[in-house]
């Protein structure tokens, strides 16, 4: 993780929060589900470029950071933003053990880590299959998961071009823990836990965003319990 002063980070967070409030019609639910201390992973769907700044502005903790794809280093604005926010750069083209170690260390020190399990923005807005790295991190660090569901960021830029304020909703779900990953069934357990995370996110979203998880039996179970 890049070194960054708390003062600069707080200034950036304040500015981003101000801009989000004046440039969008923002609706936030469940922010109280984010614990005031202790390690946790916040996992969300990924629709647009605003998703990460939204999380950064809304999560009320100084020790919150996130994994960011190294490809964004080519964009000087994004590179500056992520560095100032204290993000952890991740090379998605290989097993980036340095980034994973930094993320685990941050969680084990009691910090909050934001992750988009899909690894990239959905081209359609509907959820795509998530990678199992987040389940691995949660198991290794022994921390709870907080599902984070966002809508409206997928067309925010288009709305601004028409001088409209996009309606964006953000929902933080209740924290939950995943069952342990066993060595003998590692791959199956990681996939099971990843699907659990994604179905919990999907359960907070309108059905048009469910994508690959629309017919998942676990999502149907979660939907049944909220009726």
Strands (E), 46-95: 64-69, 88-90
Tokens of 85: 């926010």
Please report the pLDDT score of residue 203 as a whole number: 97
**pLDDT tens figures, 109-153:** 999 999 999 988 888 999 999 999 999 999 999 999 999 999 999
DSSP codes, 2-13: ----HHHHHHHH
Please report the pLDDT score of residue 78 as a whole number: 87
Q: Is 99:67 a contact under the CB 8 Å cutoff? A: yes
Q: Is the per-residue pLDDT at 173 higher than 80?
A: yes
Q: Is the per-residue pLDDT at 4 higher than 90?
A: no
Give the residue extent of every domain in the chain: 6-225
Task: Spell out the CATH class of 6-225.
Answer: alpha beta
**pLDDT tens figures, 37-52:** 999 999 999 998 889 8
Nearest of 118, 102, 3, 11 to residue 57 by alpha carbon: 11
Q: How confident is the model at residue 9 (pLDDT cuts 50, 70, 90)?
A: confident
pTM of the full predicted structure? 0.92
Q: What percent of the chain shows pLDDT beyond 70?
A: 97
d(CA 48, CA 4): 25
Q: Is 42:114 a contact under the CB 8 Å cutoff? A: yes
């Amino acid at each position: 993780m890049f070194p960054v002063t708390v003062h600069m980070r707080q200034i950036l967070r304040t500015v981003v929060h101000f801009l989000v409030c004046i440039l969008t019609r923002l609706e936030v639910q469940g922010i109280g589900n984010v614990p005031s201390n202790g390690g946790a992973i916040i996992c969300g769907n990924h629709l647009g470029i605003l998703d990460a700044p939204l999380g950064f502005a809304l999560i009320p903790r100084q020790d919150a950071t996130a994994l960011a794809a190294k490809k964004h280093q080519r964009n000087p604005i994004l590179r500056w933003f992520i560095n100032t926010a204290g993000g952890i750069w991740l090379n998605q083209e290989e097993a980036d053990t340095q980034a994973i170690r930094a993320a685990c260390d941050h969680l084990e020190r009691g910090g909050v880590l934001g992750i988009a399990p899909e690894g990239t923005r959905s081209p359609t807005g509907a959820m795509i299959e998530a990678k199992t790295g987040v389940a691995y991190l949660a198991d290794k660090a022994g921390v709870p998961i907080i599902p984070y569901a966002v809508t409206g960021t997928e067309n925010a830029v288009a709305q601004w071009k028409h001088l409209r304020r996009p309606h964006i909703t953000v929902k933080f779900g209740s924290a939950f823990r995943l069952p342990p990953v066993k060595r003998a069934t590692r791959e199956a357990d990681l996939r099971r836990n990843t699907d659990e995370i994604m179905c919990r996110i999907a359960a907070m979203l309108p059905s048009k965003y469910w994508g690959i998880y629309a017919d998942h039996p676990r999502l149907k179970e979660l939907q049944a319990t909220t009726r």
